Amino acid sequence: MENSYPNPKEFWAGRRVCVTGGAGFLGSFVQAELRERGATEIFIPHIEDYDLTQASDIQRMLVEARPDVIIHLAALAGGIGANRARPVEFFYKNLMMGVPLMHAAWEQGVEKFVAIGTICAYPKFTPVPFREENLWDGYPEETNAPYGLAKKMLLVQAQAYREQYDFNAIYLLPVNLYGPRDNFNLETSHVIPALVRKMIKAQQSGDAEVVLWGDGSPTREFFYAGDAARGIVLAAERYNGSEPVNLGAGMEISIKDLAEMIARLTGFEGKVVWDTSKPNGQPRRGLDTSRAKEFFGFEAQMSFEEGLKRTIEWFRQNQDSIA
């Protein structure tokens, strides 16, 4: 099967790729993966120079980048707290970054558009493991529904533009990402960087306990950002279909077990206190990742414990420069 795939260096030779969000956490890994696989013309639009919620900035970016391939990573994302506090921004900014960009890409004759969705698009009570065919079986979990639905519209758009205009847009659904260079700001971070930061800081200051949201019962799947980048770039090279595709590690762990694991790996020996007045979020989350393997030969490689160790080590080395 592997032999039927394009040679990556041949695929990227002469192709210009624009990676929105390329300066961010996942984007840094995608840049590295693209270079490793032979891409040399990589355009990264920085947020200081392009506001992708503005149609004029999208047009200017496309003129300057002249992309053959667009990988649309740019998103306003965050944990439960951020989604609850600012649902309007999470809906509007994600919708207005994605929908006009894909339309403009079609107008400009871009060869391929890789849209990155979110696992938050799945219904609240999706059977585990999540399968792509269950994507429309209900409403998303309430705290992140505005974000999840805004990103889900890119799937509707990709399928419509493929059907009417034969536009090669694909849609990928990565599960919760983690890794070095993640966002460790407690106001906006996801669960792994928040736990790592809280436990290391508590250990350093001699605190007897850390307080965590919910009751620890929800389950999540966590996906190393380097693996995610490889999956995205493989799909850009190899996948040209209309069906959405999950990207994940195919594992599931409770938040309680995750907290215990991070406590062990960071050396935090205090008590974990669960604040049950705070929401749990989606009850369970774990993916069926068989479609990614079947459609473009992707399987995750990083073990969860090794990925956590690398994330913890990166935070220890860089914590003084993190707000």
Contact by Cβ (8 Å): 134, 122: yes
**β-bridge mates for residue 71, sequence order:** 19, 114
Q: Which two three-digit tokens encode residue 67?
A: 């992309």
Q: In whole angstroms, how far apart are CA 302 and each of 224, 283, 298?
A: 7, 25, 13
Contact by Cβ (8 Å): 163, 129: no
What's the alpha-carbon Rg for the chain, to the nearest Å?
Answer: 19
Q: Which two three-digit tokens encode residue 242?
A: 């209309």
**Which among 151, 127, 128, 125 is positioned nearest to 140, based on CA atoms?**
125
Q: Kindly name the residue from 147, 171, 224, 239 that is annotated as catalytic.
A: 147
d(CA 299, CA 248) in angstroms, rounded, equals 8
- In one-letter notation, the amino acid at residue 253 is I
d(CA 77, CA 258) in angstroms, rounded, equals 21
Q: In whole angstroms, how far apart are CA 249 and each of 117, 177, 207, 246, 252?
A: 16, 10, 34, 10, 9
Angle at alpha carbon of residue 17, lines to 12 and 21, rounded to 5°: 135
Contact by Cβ (8 Å): 75, 116: yes
Tell me whether residue 122 is one of the annotated catalytic residues.
no
Angle at alpha carbon of residue 190, lines to 58 and 22, rounded to 5°: 30
- In one-letter notation, the amino acid at residue 221 is E
d(CA 119, CA 285) in angstroms, rounded, equals 8
Contact by Cβ (8 Å): 249, 222: yes
Which positions are annotated as active-site residues?
Answer: 147
